[in-house]
Structure 1
Amino acid sequence: MKNLIKVERARQNMTQAELAEKVKVARQTIIAIEAGRFVPSATLAFKIATILNCKADGIFELEEKDWL
């Protein structure tokens, strides 16, 4: 799953640590999500989207491999 978290964070001048604190996860979790190494739960995806003032489907996008 691709995501635009890093782009949206940059638009709002928000660090990974600040986002992590607001959604109550470790900074390493945000790092892993941004790098595509971890797919967040639906709840976490919606929390991230809410904090970044975006819709979840505007930040997260399924890739071809996600359909296999």
Structure 2
Amino acid sequence: MTTPDAWFKSSYSGGGQGDACVEIALRRARIAVRDSKAPAHATLTFPAPAFTAFVGSLRDGGPGITGAGVAGST
């Protein structure tokens, strides 16, 4: 038997209805990511350590992070 994922939105999910973001679900050793506007579509999964490093890089303004947190954005 599988347990449904508990999805979480960022507190930085934008104004209005807060649907301009991604959601994450914590799994055993992986993090699942999906589009909050299309939750029934495919999800991406990442090893937990890689996801933690990615979020840390965004938070710290790491290499290639400009504008709204996306490499190459203006």
Bigger RCO of structures 1 and 2 (CA < 8 A, at least 6 apart): 1
More helix by share: 1
TM-score category (smaller protein) = under 0.3
Greater CA radius of gyration, 1 or 2? 2
Q: TM-score, normalised by structure 1?
A: 0.26
Q: TM-score, normalised by structure 2?
A: 0.24
More strand by share: 2
